Structure 1
Amino acid sequence: MKAFWILATIASLSGVTTSCTQTNKDASQAQVQSQKPAIAVDVAIASLELLEEENEYTGTTAPIREVSVRSRLEGRLLDLNVDIGDRVESGQAIAQLDDAVLSATVLQAEAEVAARSSEVSQATAAVGNARAQVARARVQYQQSQANANRFTQLAKEGAVSPQIAENAVTEAKAAEQSLRSAEQQVSLQEQTVSANSQRVLAQEAIKLREQERQSYTTITSPINGIVLERVSEIGNLLFAGNEVVKLGDFSQVKVIVLISELEIGKIRLNQSVDVSFDSFPNQRFTGTVRRISPVADPVARLIPVEVVVSNRDGKLSSGQLARVKFAGKQEPQIIIAETALEIAGRPTPAPKDANANIQGKSKNDPKSSPNTSDKGKPKTGIVFVITGDPKEPKVLARKVTLGDRRDGKVVILSGLKEGDRLVVRSGGKLQDGDPVKLSVLSQ
């Protein structure tokens, strides 16, 4: 019994000694950490941004369309009343050819029309006379036929001789023949009127054609635009098809940029793009992809893409340097500097749960690690978040899931939220719970 109490006392003293030892160890570590000097750090705030890859391409502006104004017939250029840079409207007269010969031709065609119209009038009058003759012949025929019938009846009754009846019948037949002849004359005169009318129409067509040719001597603008070039000069003899001036439509301007075949898949028709001009450094324009060439340069492997920019105020002209940026559609994400991942060193020390679920993986094969992407870039990392009293800040190691990287920045898919303050640069290696001192550059 006495031995039992001795053993119990020894065990109790041993437990107390062990507990005191562990407590003293923790207290010692806490005291050492509290006595560790604060490390100077730069702090940034996690914010929502767009990780856009905006490649800039340069091109030269040109009018949305160019028109060559040409002469439609032969003639000497008498007047050219526009010069380079002049604005013209659709239908405005810009040049005049000699029209003396065509004016005479038009006058002759008009005279021919008048002559043919006179013939129609005469033929129409003849038709009227022929119809009057038909009316008289019909009356004569009706009277002769009545006499023939009457005398034939009287001859049968013996009141008159048969000779008189025969004469009456003969006169009736003659009157009928005269009626038929008068009716044929009407038909002939009507045909004459129709033929003359057709000749009038044909001559009218000739007159209109000559008048139209005469109108070609006045050269007009087919569009609203600006004169780009004077190709001919006053006094030159022009032939049909000779160019007089070049016009440009500047209601819109187009820019041709050459895109690598590796980037062309990111561009689509009707896509909005940002366009800037060195001549307007403080102004941004919005353009639209109107055409993507189906043919690439076989040597440079570059594909022409046409971008159209509205020019309602007329600021833009031809030959200006344009800078075009194609931006893809992305949702804002948490984006931080990649330097924030490098502070913990490589390999990154993780908090207690940072190495969970990685058992059974080879430590020597980065591709087999769940923290590594197929490209060898880490899929997860450790960042240090500012926590604790603002007057005595400390860092807390936090595991984050990484996304795309570009230009020294990385997308955080999980582990951080907007507004978190994290260390992006440090004066020394950090560990979980270390005190820090914020630099003047910190946010």
Structure 2
Amino acid sequence: MIAKRFRVPRWAVRRGPGLALVGAIAIAAAACGEPVEPTAQAQGERQEGPIVVDVAVATAAEELGRTYTGTTRPARQVSLRSQAEGRLLSLTRDVGDVVQQGQVVGSLDSVLLQSAVGEARAELAARQFEVAQAEAELADIRTSIEDARVRLQQASNDAQRLATLAAQGAVSAQEAEQAQTTVVTSSQALASSQEQVRTRQQAVAAAQQRVEAQRSILQETQQRLSFANLTASLSGVVLERVAEPGDLVLPGEAVLTLGDLSQVLVVIEVADSNLSEFSVGQSVQLVIDAFPSETFEGQVTRISPVADSTSRLLPIEITVANPGGRISSGLLARVTSTGSRTDGVVIPENALGQDETEDNQIFVVTDTDGTPVVEARTVQVGDRADGQVTILSGLTAGEQYVVRSSQPLESGQTVELSLTSEG
């Protein structure tokens, strides 16, 4: 025979006197496949008399401190990247090794880089020869200018003398005119030589600029040759070894990850509603699982203004001094806030929803002519943690409320306080 599916009534599982037998009968009957109604006697026991309830007294919320978890990491962390292309010949440091700033930790194959330096040197020598050649040509032109100036002066003197003799009739007018033509020709030769000087000066300047450009190229190739030696950019420890000897390394590729562990950062994520617990410069206490018997002191150094788009939590950075580098990277840390004063009261979370349809409702116990009566009240719920919930409004300190009841409650119902009730 296949057992029928059944649903146990809510009142059958409530704790209280007189219902254990009813619940047992209902469960047994359902298991046998026969619906059984509670007996009149059992119904009378459930309906007659006040409902037994456990009652507690609402107390004001104390100053609460929360614990946040984070992971340690170096205060400074950099990737040692290659600045040149080449095959990685050696890498002398591994994860956990200590390095000093400027220390050589690896090297690249430098054959191609050395060839580039040699080519740059040869090209620089060629450019310098061009400058020397242009300067020699300029010197020759300047010498020719002096010769042209002397010839012009001589032609001017001859023309003046022949012009005087022609006026006296000692020489013909034709000779005097030829002398004057010679003066004009010498003047043009001088002007041409001077123009050549300006042209050659510009050629020398251009050649000198090419020399400077080539000298910069040589310096650049020499600098790239120096990049064949990989040097640590900070003092710390090796956190990760990315490349291995024999790998072809391109410019910008990471080889090692280095971290400065003289200080460590612990990053925690905090809801915006709890940001008042932290401020920049605040001292906080934290424990690290790797050192369970020690308490460390840190300082809040940064509160991010941008929350995570998924969790809606804001990262907070806490800096912890780490003399001797005892605290490693990647350790679990627990930060306890000093807490903040919360208005309202704190009650057990299971006190909510005594009415199945209301999750933010509690039943408050009032005294009516010496008889305890329950009143349904809607409350504003705050933080929930460790089985406790903060009631922001709807319940005040000193009021009695129902923690548990033997049966479902209704507003205005008479109840009986259990022996374990407070107040």
TM-score with structure 2 setting the length? 0.61
Q: Is the CA contact 1:91–1:221 (under 8 Å) kept in the aligned structure 2?
A: yes
Which residue number corresponds to residue 104 of structure 2? 93
Question: Which of 131, 144, 165 is 1:133 aligned to?
Answer: 144
Q: Return closer, same or farther for 1:169/1:258 CA change in 2, 3 Å cut-off.
A: closer
291, 297, 303: which one aligns with 2:303: 291
- Change in CA separation of 1:263 and 1:153 when aligned onto 2, cut-off 3 Å: same
Alignment partner of 2:258 out of 213, 236, 247: 247
- Aligned AA (2:321): S
Supply the distance in 2 between the matched residues of 1:193 and 1:244 (Cα, whole angstroms): 47
Q: Deviations over 1:230-251 (max 9, x none)?
A: 1111122223333211112223
Match of 1:406 in 2: none
Q: 1:289 to 1:180 in 2, by over 3 A?
A: closer
| Shift of residue 211, structure 1, vs aligned partner | 2.0
* CA distance in structure 2 between the aligned counterparts of 1:236 and 1:109, rounded to whole angstroms: 27
**Alpha-carbon distance between aligned partners in 2 of 1:253 and 1:64, rounded to the nearest angstrom:** 5
May I ask how many residue pairs the two structures share in their alignment? 291
> Alpha-carbon deviations, 1:3-36, whole Å to 9, x = none?
xxxxxxxxxxxxxxxxxxxxxxxxxxxxxxxxxx
Aligned to 1:198: 209
Superposed counterparts of 1:327-342, under 5 Å: 327-328=338-339
Q: 1:318 aligns with which of 310, 314, 329?
A: 329
Distance 1:289 1:188 in 2: 66
User: CA–CA distance in 2 between the matches of 1:185 and 1:314?
Assistant: 73
Cα offset, 1:81, TM superposition: 1.6
1:422 counterpart residue number: none
Counterpart-to-counterpart distance in 2, 1:296 and 1:105: 49
Separation in 2 of the partners of 1:116 and 1:261? Answer: 67
Per-residue CA distance 1:26-85 (angstroms, 9 max, x = gap): xxxxxxxxxxxxxxxxxxxxxxxxx75332223221112432222233311111121211
1:283 positional shift: 4.5
Per-residue displacement from partner, 1:175-202 (whole Å, max 9, x unpaired)?
2222123222322321221221122122
Counterpart amino acid of 1:195? A
* Closer/same/farther in 2, CA of residues 133 and 303 from structure 1, 3 Å limit: closer
Q: Distance in 2 between matches of 1:275 and 1:225?
A: 24
Q: Secondary structure at the match of 2:260?
A: strand
- Residue of structure 2 equivalent to 1:231: 242
Determine the C-alpha separation between the residues in 2 that align with 1:260 and 1:160. Answer: 117
Describe how 1:20-169 pairs up with structure 2 within 5 A: 53-169=64-180
Structure 2 CA distance for partners of 1:303 and 1:125, relative to 1, 3 Å: closer
| Aligned residues of 2:289 and 2:332 also touching (Cα < 8 A) | yes
**Cα distance between partner residues in 1 of 2:396 and 2:93:** 67
8 Å CA contact 2:96, 2:239 repeated in 1: yes
Unaligned residue ranges in structure 1 (runs of 5+): 1-50, 331-361, 366-372, 380-443
Provide the C-alpha distance between the structure 1 equivalents of 2:275 and 2:172, rounded to a whole number of angstroms: 118
* CA positional deviation for 1:92: 2.6
Amino acid at match of 2:204: V
Contact 1:297-1:303 within 8 A present in 2 as well: no
Tell me the CA shift for residue 115 of structure 1: 1.7
> Which one-letter code corresponds to 1:132 in the other structure?
T
1:363-408 deviation line (CA, Å, top 9, x unaligned) = 999xxxxxxx9843249xxxxxxxxxxxxxxxxxxxxxxxxxxxxx
1:376 aligns with one of 371, 383, 396: 396
Deviation at 1:293, TM superposition (A): 6.1
Residue 129 of structure 1 and its aligned partner are, at CA, apart by 2.0
Residue type of the alignment partner of 2:150: V
Q: How large is the RMSD of aligned CA atoms in angstroms?
A: 3.0
Q: 1:206 to 1:258 in 2, by over 3 A?
A: closer
- In the alignment, the residues of structure 2 paired with residue 204 and residue 298 of structure 1 have an alpha-carbon distance, to the nearest angstrom, of 55
What is the rounded CA distance, in whole Å, between the counterparts of 2:118 and 2:213 in structure 1? Answer: 16
CA contact (8 A) 1:288 1:309 kept: no
In the alignment, the residues of structure 1 paired with residue 200 and residue 333 of structure 2 have an alpha-carbon distance, to the nearest angstrom, of 77
Larger radius of gyration: 1
Q: Is the 8 A contact 1:273 1:289 kept in 2?
A: no
CA-CA distance at 1:257 after TM superposition: 2.4
Cα displacement (A) at 1:109: 0.7
Query: Aligned AA for 1:133?
Result: S
Aligned mates of 1:303, 1:160 — CA distance in 2: 111
154 and 297 in structure 1: CA distance in 2 versus 1, 3 angstrom threshold = closer
Structure 2: 5+ residue stretches without partners: 1-61, 342-368, 374-392, 400-423
How many angstroms apart in 1 are the aligned matches of 2:272 and 2:175? 115
CA distance in 1, matches of 2:269, 2:190: 90
User: Structure 2 counterpart of 1:271, which letter?
Assistant: Q
User: What secondary structure is seen at the aligned counterpart in 2 of 1:263?
Assistant: helix
Using the TM superposition, give the Cα deviation of residue 168 of structure 1 relative to its aligned residue in structure 2, in angstroms. Answer: 1.7
Equivalents in 2 of 1:312, 1:291: separation in Å? 24
| Offset of residue 155 of structure 1 | 0.5
**1:83–1:227 Cα contact (<8 Å) kept:** yes
Inter-CA distance 260–115: structure 2 relative to 1 (3 Å threshold): closer
In structure 2, how many angstroms separate the alpha carbons of the residues matched to 1:296 and 1:110?
A: 55
Aligned to 1:270: 281
**Contact 2:284 / 2:336 at 8 angstroms: preserved in 1?**
yes
What is the aligned-residue identity percentage? 40
